[in-house]
Amino acid sequence: MFSKGLTFLPLLATTTTALYKPLPLIQAVGETTNVTILSSGINRTYLICIPPKYDGQTLTPVIFSFHGGSRNASQQQELSQFSNPDFNDFAISIYPQGIGETWQGAGNPDNGAHDVRFTNDMINQLESLYAIDPARIWASGKSDGGGFTNRLACDQALSQRIAAFAPVSGAFYVDDVAIPCDPDTVAISCDPGRPKIPILEFHGYKDHTIDYFGNKSRKGACVPSIPHWAQEWAARDGLSIANATTELPATNDTLIYTFGLGEDTGLVTQVTDLNLGHDWPSLVDVGDAQTADFDATPIIMEFFKKHSLA
């Protein structure tokens, strides 16, 4: 017998697959390719790594990983390890190349690099060529690239396309205030297009490039202290600016500052390694000056997996 209820049942299932999209000819699962894209009239490039689990049909998340100042996309792939199947075997990882090896907003607001637009153009291209899950696009980056990750979180449009943000050793330049500034109280302009933006940051307490306590004047801009910056995100997300402080298991020098209660616990999280400098926390040498007692990347992956767009 025909049953209306049964007929509609399949519609209740969550869509997890897309129309089959074969990989572009020169690309293969497990491999990294250098892609060129015209953005704002300029040929830009990014590295794309196709994860082992990619089948062209299962809706696949995307991770952007932005390099630090004076670094490049290949170095960021090595540093952040998002293409390492031990850490990530399911999400496409993208390592964009900045113009002049830096990013829009890194103390150079008008350098002609329309990197927010570039990011939007990359997302459009990825969504057209691959089986992408538009609700699970995530962003990370080191130093200037961490600052740029924050800029995307603060952008009306990109904050609605990217689900979660994880800057490391972030350089959160504020360029619309008088300098010298007070890094503990500076007003941070930020205008996300949705409430409750998930933010996870890692910073070395002994970072003297992007000092933990901020910088009154660097590259013509103000750099907020890390606690002030994190607390401003907590406030923006509607959370208390007081945090719960715990130790990261298996380390004896790393603190986790967790903001938010109930289902919002950890919506804003800041991790401070008391012995680390301006480095991506990693147990092994991945190209920074110093190693740490833990790997940041699997913690970032767990955070990303918890957050998708509604």
Ligand X SMILES: *[C@@H]1O[C@H](CO)[C@@H](O)[C@H](O)[C@H]1NC(C)=O
Q: Which is nearer to ligand X, 32 or 308 (CB)?
A: 32
* Chain centroid, CA 253 distance in Å: 24
CA distance 291 to 81: 14
Cβ 154 to ligand X shortest distance, Å: 18
Among 102, 159, 169, 243, binds ligand X (CB under 6 A): 243
- Indicate whether 34 belongs to the interface with ligand X (CB under 6 A): yes
- Indicate whether 75 belongs to the interface with ligand X (CB under 6 A): yes
Cβ 52 to ligand X shortest distance, Å: 21
- In terms of phi and psi (left: phi > 0; alpha: psi -120 to 50; beta: otherwise), the region of 165 is beta
Among 48, 49, 50, 73, binds ligand X (CB under 6 A): 73
Which span sits near ligand X by CB under 6 A: 67-75, 120-128, 143-151, 192-200? 67-75
- Indicate whether 57 belongs to the interface with ligand X (CB under 6 A): no
Among 39, 47, 122, 150, binds ligand X (CB under 6 A): 47
Helices 144-153 and 115-129 cross at an angle (nearest 10°) of 80
Going from the C-alpha of 305 to that of each of 245, 273, 299, the distances in angstroms are 23, 23, 10
Among 133, 211, 273, 288, binds ligand X (CB under 6 A): 211
**DSSP letter assigned to residue 285:** -
For residue 133, give every residue at least 6 positions away whose Cβ sits within 8 Å of its Cβ, in sequence order, or none: 59, 60, 61, 308
- Indicate whether 293 belongs to the interface with ligand X (CB under 6 A): yes
What type of residue is 261?
L
Among 148, 257, 280, 303, binds ligand X (CB under 6 A): 257
Q: Find the DSSP H helices in the chain.
A: 4-12, 73-80, 115-129, 144-153, 226-236, 296-306
Cβ 98 to ligand X shortest distance, Å: 12
Six-digit token string for 129: 């060529």
- Indicate whether 215 belongs to the interface with ligand X (CB under 6 A): yes
| Total of residues contacting ligand X (CB under 6 A) | 25
- Indicate whether 82 belongs to the interface with ligand X (CB under 6 A): no
Among 61, 145, 170, 227, binds ligand X (CB under 6 A): 227
Cis peptide before 180 (omega within 30 of 0): yes
- Indicate whether 53 belongs to the interface with ligand X (CB under 6 A): no
Q: Which is nearer to ligand X, 75 or 104 (CB)?
A: 75
Q: Which is nearer to ligand X, 95 or 304 (CB)?
A: 95
- Indicate whether 60 belongs to the interface with ligand X (CB under 6 A): no
Note whether 46 and 97 are within 8 A (CB): yes
- Indicate whether 245 belongs to the interface with ligand X (CB under 6 A): yes
CA distance 140 to 63: 7
- Of 120-159, binders to ligand X (CB under 6 A) are none
- Indicate whether 230 belongs to the interface with ligand X (CB under 6 A): yes
CA distance 290 to 292: 7
Among 21, 117, 196, 218, binds ligand X (CB under 6 A): 218
Going from the C-alpha of 209 to that of each of 268, 287, 294, 303, the distances in angstroms are 23, 16, 21, 26
CA distance 226 to 235: 14
- Indicate whether 286 belongs to the interface with ligand X (CB under 6 A): no
- Indicate whether 240 belongs to the interface with ligand X (CB under 6 A): no
Binding site for ligand X (CB under 6 A): 34, 38, 41, 43, 45, 47, 72-75, 208, 211, 215, 218, 227, 230-231, 243, 245, 250-252, 257, 270, 293
